[in-house]
Structure 1
Amino acid sequence: MTQTHLITGAGSGIGRAIARRLSGRGDRLVLVGRDRARADELAALFPGSIGIAADLRQPSSMAAALDEADVPDALDTVIHGAGIVELGPVGQLSARSWTEQLTVNLVAAAELTRLTLPAVRAARGQVLFVNSGAGLTAHAGWSAYAASKHGLKALADALRAEESEHGVRVTTVYPGRTATPMQEEVHRQEGRDYDAAAFIDPESVATTALAALDLPRDALVPDVSVRPGPR
């Protein structure tokens, strides 16, 4: 049966790998881009999909963006794959850096979930959060990003408890370091050389995510971690 999935972060990395797999099996995609040009670019990348222009840096604007778009009344899945990162010690990170990461990585996800929840309930669907190992443990230099991801875990945990009565499943995936453009940016900020072969392939994370999405309804994967395997 064809399903419908709304996805953020489908332009690169893990989000793109998930979107490609879902599109490849004939499912319908609703893709969120930061502006009209990006939304149209994503829609062209996955033919038959719908592109929505919604800036995650401005969560209060998303309600109008969704109202203007042709979003189905029932959504089988909402997949939160977008995120930003800016590293730095607590003693140096600016209020702007904290605000931007918390807004994009957490507040926007909460607002998009709120806005789409009626459609997810209608489908007795699922919300999937692509979190991070940083959502479980915070290391030096990662305070703001990890705080946003710890908050995302709290959002998912609360949502799971609240929505069980409506038949909505909630899953969080915690990938370790994955070979994505974000990881390349992390290495640039860390001042280290980047070797994609040293990290998890985004396709491996996508496989884990789809296993959780496709699980029969008698079961739920609430949390799953994906770590680099032995080399």
Structure 2
Amino acid sequence: MTDLSQNQAATSDSRPAVLITGANRGIGRAVADELAADHHLILGGRDEQALDELAAQFPSARTFVAELTDYGAVARAVDGLDLQNGLAGVVHSAGILENGTVEGSAPGQWTQSFEINVVAVAELTRLLLPALRAAGGTVVMINSGSGINAVRTRGAYSASKFAMRGLADSLRAEERDNGVRVTSIHPGRVATDMQRELRSYEGGEYQEENYLQPGSVASTVGLALRLPADASIESVSIRPR
């Protein structure tokens, strides 16, 4: 785990801290770029070297290295964070896309989809709740259009995203009186490596101009985190124009 540089240590105390999972690629990386100017970034992922290199590019950042389904490791990583001033936000960007019909999907595909897209999100959020409450923080869950309308050939993925939407709704109801905001963001198709893999599975061409840019989704995340304390974005669907 990266130690803060002197410059980072000097600025992090005055910046609201936000933890971003899946921070070294795709939407997570775009969120880090979006928030870097006015937040202390806690960059989550599994590749320690990649996260170290990424953290060095920002004025105030550190890493959070853990496999999110290793719940003991996640708890130890959370314990290692300095959250005396609370946590302004957590952005759940890490996730998995499982392709396959209901008929063609084995039990392991369902288990993996739900563990990564739902259970791991719930557990990390649970561990961070005291710090989020202390700061009046915001939980942002990057969901999918598949969490609103189920998609043919992606049964396990769609079901897990519907469950993630239910998780966000339940958490919002529980934490409303504790000052924690919960935002569920449902992007359409985004120009990421995951989209390339999906188009390959579908047998279609990857045409980046037809998809949302990761930065457009990140701008929505930034809006949810930066809203005045009297307002909350509860759920938003963002689609290619």
Same fold (TM over 0.5): yes
**1:70 pairs with 2:97:** no
What SS is found at the alignment partner of 1:5? strand
Question: 81-90 or 40-49: which moved more?
Answer: 40-49
Structure 1 residues 29-40: aligned runs within 5 Å: 29-40=41-52
The DSSP-based 3-state class of the residue aligned with 2:56 is helix
1:117 alignment counterpart: 129
Separation (CA, whole Å) in 2 of partners of 1:108 and 1:100: 10
Cα offsets for 1:12-62 (capped at 9, x unmatched): 111111111111x13101111125334434423445311111102333431
1:128 corresponds to which letter in structure 2?
V
- The corresponding residue for 2:23 is 10
User: What is the CA-CA distance between 1:108 and the residue it aligns to?
Assistant: 0.6
Encode CA deviations 1:60-94: one digit per residue, 9 max, x unaligned: 43112222x23423100011011111201111112
List gaps (5 residues or longer) in structure 2.
1-13
Structure 1 Cα separation of the partners of residues 205 and 232 of structure 2? 39
Counterpart residue identity of residue 81, structure 2: D
Please give the residue correspondences for 1:29-178 in structure 2 after superposition, counting only pairs within 5 Å: 29-67=41-79, 69-73=80-84, 74-178=86-190
Distance 1:86 1:220, change over 3 A: same
- Offset at 1:219? 1.3
CA gap 1:95/1:46 in 2 versus in 1, 3 angstroms = farther
Q: Sequence identity, in percent?
A: 47
The whole-number CA distance in structure 2 between the counterparts of 1:54 and 1:47 is 23
CA distance in 1, matches of 2:108, 2:54: 28
| Stretches of structure 1 lacking an aligned partner (at least 5 in a row) | none
Please say which of residues 69-78 and 133-142 is displaced more in the overlay: 69-78
**Correspondence for 1:200:** 212
Amino acid at match of 1:118: P
CA RMSD of aligned residues (A): 1.6
CA distance in 2: counterparts of 1:38 and 1:154, whole angstroms: 33
CA distance in 1: counterparts of 2:143 and 2:232, whole angstroms: 17
Q: Normalised by the size of structure 2, how large is the TM-score?
A: 0.89
The residue number in structure 1 matching 2:3 is none
Paired residue secondary structure (1:6): strand
Cα contact 1:30–1:71 (8 A) shared by 2: no
Partner amino acid, structure 2, of 1:155: L
1:212 alignment partner in structure 2 = 224
- In the superposition, relative to structure 1, how do residues 112 and 42 fare at CA in structure 2: closer, same or farther (>3 Å)? farther
Name the count of aligned residue pairs: 227
What SS is found at the alignment partner of 1:106?
helix
Q: Hey, what's the Cα distance between the residues in 2 that align with 1:59 and 1:150? A: 23
